[in-house]
């Protein structure tokens, strides 16, 4: 089978693969606690789902413009304008099938053969694959563990070459949950501006933040003069528990939005219309949305505290990074490597088999010393999962 060079190096999403395996084993009757894929376990707030149902009943079932319904793009832009304290042009918003497609649209439109895109390790598993699909080169940049892997302009400078065209990161981060401060972001943004490097900011977890105000620092709060070329990514999946609706967006200049739109118009066209109607409710009924988000954020914070306490008490041999947002715990597993489990991938397969707990091995994120657990699940399952891991390791 000869694959086109377009996909010659493409690997399936590791996060989705582990989670699908866990679901299959569970459906075969195995007792599996699935802490692999990162998705909120909450139902979509009912007023959002109801809006979509109403929309379908009223015939909102046809194509919309490829970049989304204008009223949705305007509602998203209004949310971002409020955050930025200055107007954000709605024509810069392109609504896509998840932030994943928004990332793909932007990377495919901006990068090509010969380009290098800096990606901090540990990275979200899809970043290098998306960059590879553009036939550009993802260049992993390892931050220092003592700084929770957060990158500095010096780290970027060391990795940069004349071919460096972009820098792609997430904050709050997947898989670490680590959050850049406003000053740290500003320093990175200024480096990108000065070096003529595109800054691609994935802020999909910005509402799941445990610090003051409940929203992680982001690009829009930086003084506009700090920013050179940039694209911001966000969406409904994580903030509003809407993973299955597939609604994300990019914010760029209106000129670049037209390019992303042209690409999307030849691939998927618009996001499913009922999903857009649901998202319109989420982005326009702001008080109801804020209340729902606050409740979910509080639950994630409580679980974060719980899982940290459980790790400290029962798994002290697995040191973790302190998460400030998102819903992941990223912890070192190399201290418990042994015969038959000499890599994170082997260890995670062993834990799935022995303990019935599904985790994502660090190989998926570019650091095989670690594993990732999603704590977007019930307290009861978290307690049970940690007990099972501790028991398996005690041997």
Residue number, 88 or 130, with CB nearest to ligand GLU: 130
Asked if residue 329 binds ligand GLU (CB under 6 A), the reply is: no
Q: Which does 16 bind (CB under 5 to 8 A by kind): ligand PMP, ligand GLU, none?
A: ligand GLU
Considering only residues 133 to 192 of the shown chain, the ones binding ligand PMP according to CB under 6 A are: 170, 174
Residue 221 DSSP class: G
Closest to ligand GLU by CB, 15 or 186 = 15
37 near ligand GLU, rule: CB under 6 A? yes
Q: Measured between alpha carbons, how far is 162 from 140 in angstroms, rounded to an integer?
A: 16
Sheet holding 370-374, edge to edge: 328-332, 370-374, 360-361
* Segment lying near ligand PMP (by CB under 6 A), choices 95-103, 128-136, 144-152, 350-358: 95-103
CA–CA separation, 375 and 301 (whole Å) = 10
Burial annotation 356-393 (CB, 10 A radius, 16+ → b, else e) = bbbbbbbbbbbbbbbbbbbbbbeeeebebbbebbbebb
- Pick from ligand PMP, ligand GLU, none: which does 202 bind, CB < 5 to 8 A by kind? ligand PMP
SS3 for 13?
A: coil
Report the alpha-carbon distance of residue 359 to residue 32 in Å, rounded. Answer: 11
Q: Does 98 bind ligand PMP (CB under 6 A)?
A: yes
* Distance in Å, CB of 76 to ligand GLU, minimum: 20
| Residue span binding ligand GLU (CB under 6 A) among the ranges 3-11, 35-43, 44-52, 273-281 | 35-43
Q: How far apart are CA 278 and CA 249, in angstroms?
A: 14
Q: Is 64 in the site for ligand PMP (CB under 6 A)?
A: no
The reply to whether omega before 172 is within 30° of 0 (cis) is: yes
Q: Which does 37 bind (CB under 5 to 8 A by kind): ligand GLU, ligand PMP, none?
A: ligand GLU
By CB under 6 A, residue 129 contacts ligand PMP: no
Q: Is the CB of 21 or the CB of 392 nearer to ligand PMP? A: 21
- DSSP codes of every residue in 143-185: PPGGGTT---HHHHHHH--TTEEEEEEESS-TTT-----HHHH
19 binds ligand PMP (CB under 6 A): no
Nearer to ligand PMP, 187 or 204 (CB): 204
Report d(CA 250, CA 168) in Å as an integer: 14
Write the DSSP symbol of residue 3.
Answer: -
122 belongs to the binding site for ligand PMP (CB under 6 A): no
- With respect to ligand GLU, which residue has the nearer C-beta, 13 or 284? 13
- Choose one: 36-44, 82-90, 107-115, 129-137; the region binding ligand GLU (CB under 6 A): 36-44
Q: How many CB atoms lie within 10 A of CB 242?
A: 26
**Using the rule CB under 6 A, is 16 a contact of ligand GLU?**
yes
241 conformational bin, left if phi > 0, alpha if psi -120 to 50, beta if neither: left
Q: 87 exposed, middle or buried (CB, 10 Å; 0-12, 13-18, 19+)?
A: exposed
**Minimum distance between the CB of residue 240 and ligand PMP, rounded to whole angstroms?**
11
Binding of ligand GLU by 318 (CB under 6 A): no
Shorter beta-carbon distance to ligand PMP: residue 95 or 315: 95
For 238, which DSSP code?
T
How far is the C-alpha of 89 from the C-alpha of 36, rounded, in Å? 37
Stretch that binds ligand PMP, among 67-75, 92-100, 250-258, 345-353 (CB under 6 A): 92-100
The number of beta carbons lying within 10 Å of the beta carbon of residue 269 is 14
Applying CB under 6 A, which of residues 79, 101, 174, 289 lies at the interface with ligand GLU? Answer: 174
Selected binder of ligand PMP within 14, 32, 33, 38 (CB under 6 A): 38
Interacting residues with ligand GLU (CB under 6 A): 13, 15-16, 37-39, 124-126, 174
Interacting residues with ligand PMP (CB under 6 A): 38, 98-100, 124, 170, 174, 202, 204, 235, 237, 243, 248
């Amino acid at each position: 089978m000869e694959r086109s060079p377009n996909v010659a190096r493409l690997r399936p999403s590791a996060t989705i693969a582990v989670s699908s395996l866990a679901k299959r084993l569970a459906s075969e009757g195995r007792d599996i606690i699935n802490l692999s894929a990162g998705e909120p376990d909450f139902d979509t707030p009912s007023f959002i789902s109801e809006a979509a149902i109403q929309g379908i009943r009223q015939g909102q079932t046809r194509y919309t413009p490829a970049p989304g319904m204008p009223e949705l793009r305007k509602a998203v832009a209004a949310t971002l304008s409020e955050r930025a304290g200055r107007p954000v042009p709605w024509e810069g918003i392109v609504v896509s099938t998840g932030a994943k497609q928004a990332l793909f649209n932007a990377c495919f439109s901006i990068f090509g053969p010969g380009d290098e895109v800096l990606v901090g390790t540990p990275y979200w598993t899809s970043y290098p694959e998306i960059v590879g699909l553009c036939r550009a080169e993802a260049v992993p940049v390892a931050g220092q563990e003592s700084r929770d892997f957060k990158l500095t302009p010096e780290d970027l400078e060391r990795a940069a070459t004349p071919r460096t065209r972009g820098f792609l990161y997430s904050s709050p981060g997947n898989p670490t949950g680590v959050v850049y401060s406003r000053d740290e972001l500003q320093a990175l943004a200024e480096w990108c501006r000065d070096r003529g490097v595109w800054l691609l900011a994935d802020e999909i977890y910005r509402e799941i933040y445990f610090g003051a105000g409940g929203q992680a620092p982001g690009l829009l709060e930086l003084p506009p003069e700090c920013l050179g070329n940039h694209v911001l990514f966000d969406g409904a999946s994580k903030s509003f528990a809407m993973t299955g609706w597939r609604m994300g967006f990019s914010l760029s200049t209106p000129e670049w939005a037209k390019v992303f739109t042209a690409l999307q118009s030849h691939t998927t066209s618009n996001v499913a219309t009922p999903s857009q109607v649901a998202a319109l409710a989420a982005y326009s009924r702001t008080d109801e949305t804020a209340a729902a988000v606050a409740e979910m954020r509080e639950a994630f914070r409580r679980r974060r505290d719980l899982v940290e306490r459980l790790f400290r008490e029962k798994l002290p041999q697995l040191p973790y990074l302190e998460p400030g947002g998102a819903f992941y715990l990223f912890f070192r597993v190399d201290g418990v490597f042994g015969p038959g489990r000499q890599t994170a991938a082997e260890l995670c397969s062993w834990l799935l088999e022995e303990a019935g707990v599904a985790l994502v091995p660090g190989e998926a994120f570019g650091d095989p010393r670690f594993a990732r657990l999603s704590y977007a699940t019930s307290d009861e399952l978290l307690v049970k999962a940690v007990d099972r891991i501790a028991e398996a390791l005690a041997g």
